[in-house]
Amino acid sequence: DAGVTQSPTHLIKTRGQHVTLRCSPISGHKSVSWYQQVLGQGPQFIFQYYEKEERGRGNFPDRFSARQFPNYSSELNVNALLLGDSALYLCASRPGLAGTTGELFFGEGSRLTVL
């Protein structure tokens, strides 16, 4: 079975541009979360979506937005990119809000470099 898939795997943008990152959860998983991981640090929670509704948001500016589609895939959008947005963006899925096992399944991430 396919795991969590993310695209693109790598991308380079310049300051002020906009970026869209995509995530497909594991089949049957309805909850998707997004994390930002800056080099040398642990991942930081950005958003959680469940059944197309935002269920949680971390401490990130309004330049960051996301949405979830009827097929449970998700997009993370970042506007007006800053150098500090350079990071690995991770998507994770789980069956529901409170799954039977509690584990979160992560994708391999999209590495964004802002020049």
Does residue 54 belong to the site contacting other proteins (CB under 8 A)? no
Cβ-based nearer residue to other proteins, 4 or 112 = 4
Stretch of residues binding other proteins (CB under 8 A), selected from 16-24, 35-43, 62-70, 71-79: 35-43
Does residue 44 belong to the site contacting other proteins (CB under 8 A)? yes
Does residue 84 belong to the site contacting other proteins (CB under 8 A)? no
Q: Among 15, 83, 108, 113, which residue sits at the site for other proteins (rule: CB under 8 A)?
A: 108
Residue 56, amino acid: G
Does residue 106 belong to the site contacting other proteins (CB under 8 A)? yes
Which residues lie below 8 Å from residue 22, measured CB to CB, with a gap of 6+? 6, 7, 73, 74, 75
In this structure, what token pair is assigned to residue 45?
A: 């929670």
Q: Report the C-alpha gap between 3 and 57 in whole angstroms.
A: 24
Q: Helix, strand, or coil here: 73?
A: coil
Q: Among 22, 45, 64, 79, which residue sits at the site for other proteins (rule: CB under 8 A)?
A: 45
> Are 104 and 3 contacting, i.e. CB atoms less than 8 angstroms apart?
no
Minimum distance from CB of 16 to other proteins (Å)? 28
> Are 10 and 19 contacting, i.e. CB atoms less than 8 angstroms apart?
no
Four-CA torsion 42, 106, 61, 19, nearest 10 degrees? 120
Task: Using CB under 8 A, list all residues that contact other proteins.
Answer: 4, 31, 33, 35, 41-45, 48, 55-56, 58, 90, 92, 94, 97-99, 102-109
